[in-house]
Amino acid sequence: MNESVTVSAPLMPMVVGHLARLQTGLDFINTLDLWPVSHDHLDSPTSAFDWLVDHDLMHREARIHLLAQYEASPAVGVEMLSRLRRVRQAMRGVLEAAATRRAPDPSDLADINRALRTHYIYELVPATDGVSLDHRHQGDPVDGAIARLAEALARELIQGDTTRLRICENPQCHWVFKDTSRTGKRKWCSMSSCGNRAKVARHRARQKTQSPSPL
Ligand SMILES: [Zn+2]
């Protein structure tokens, strides 16, 4: 998989101050909740920006500024939401392809590559043991956030262990996660929700087969 995925992200420094973590990219994909209640956390510009601010992908000032802008022209806000959702869908598509050892859909890759095509300014910043390379985004703050989310996943596809990328086995849930367990056999996004649900279902099935059916 690592060889066949050629997400073009040549300007990815290894030590950077504000790159998004993989977990943030996965959380972003999981903002489309299906279970136990179906809810899209990106259902309005306000909630989408709340999510981005909470995940350190956007400054509060940018949020205030953009929301005021959308108030004046709501169509721009709608367009921004569809851009976010399109990248989210593409990230899920590419991750699912990696998790199931399939070649990614070219249109998903095209969406991610478009997201990665953004203007960065590279700069050296002081670090405890010398300097580290940081980068700042110039231009639309949403594009900057999208680029960092796509970058988090792209980095993992190239440098990480893609065999550990998983889709929750609860078919109604579909959350994506990285299996960091020692055994590498984790099946559910969370043992307490989906894992427990599977356990209860198994238990019920066993009881049914064991107890004689009432006649
Ligand atoms: Zn789950």
pLDDT tens for 158-194 read 998 899 999 999 989 999 999 999 999 999 998 888 9
The mean pLDDT of 58-64, rounded to a whole number, is 91
What angle is formed at CA 148 by the lines to CA 78 and CA 115, rounded to 5 degrees?
55
**CB of 28 within 8 A of CB of 84?**
no
Collect residues with CB below 5 Å from ion ligand 1: 168, 170, 173, 175, 189, 194
- pTM for the model stands at 0.80
Q: Compute the distance from residue 26 Cα to the ligand 1 centre, in Å.
A: 13
Assigned domain for 195 exists: no
Domain that holds residue 158: 22-162
Could you tell me if 87 and 31 are in contact, meaning their C-beta atoms sit under 8 angstroms apart?
no
- Please check whether residue 14 lies inside any domain of the structure: no
Q: Which residues contact 14 (CB under 8 A, 6 or more apart)?
A: none
pLDDT at 202: 77
- Dig out the tokens for 106 from the structure: 């070219």
Please tell me the total count of domains within the chain: 1
56 backbone φψ class: left, alpha, beta (φ>0; ψ -120 to 50): left
CA of 191 to the centre of ligand 1 (A): 8
The overall average pLDDT reported for the chain is: 86
Dist. CA 173 → ligand 1 center (Å): 5
For residue 181, tell me if it sits in a domain. Answer: no
Determine the distance separating the centroid of ligand 1 and the alpha carbon of 183, expressed in angstroms.
19
Q: Is residue 213 part of a domain?
A: no
Q: What is the pLDDT of residues 67-124, one digit of tens each?
A: 999 999 999 999 999 999 999 999 999 999 999 999 999 999 999 999 998 877 778 8
CA pair distance 54, 76, nearest whole angstrom? 22
CA distance 130 to 167: 40
